[in-house]
Amino acid sequence: MENRTSVYSTTSEQEAIIFKDRLVADGIDAIVLDMKDHVTELVGTFDIFVINEDAERAKVILKEIEG
């Protein structure tokens, strides 16, 4: 993941997927990684990662979505 940057983190898997899909629709290669503790499945986040060069643009788009 050395060429990717985390641009968003949430505890909601659905929110992460919706936001990731919006980035992809805008031409940004985005992925969601489940960062939850796989032992307990109780703690953690879903993080959206994009290619480093797209990070700033992705953050602007995500701020627009959040309103």
For the chain, domain boundaries: 4-66
Task: State the average pLDDT over residues 30-37.
Answer: 87
Task: State the average pLDDT over residues 25-39.
Answer: 88
Q: What percent of the chain has pLDDT over 90?
A: 76
State the residue for tokens 């997927």.
17
How far apart CA 11 and CA 24 sit, in angstroms, is: 20
* pLDDT level of residue 36 (50, 70, 90 thresholds): confident
Task: State the average pLDDT over residues 28-34.
Answer: 96
Residue 16 backbone phi and psi in degrees, to 5: -60, -40
Nearest to 45 by CA among 13, 3, 4: 13
Q: State yes or no: pLDDT of 44 exceeds 90.
A: no
Topology (CATH level 3) of domain 4-66: Alpha-Beta Plaits (3.30.70)
State the residue for tokens 């505890």.
11
- Greater model confidence, 62 or 36: 62
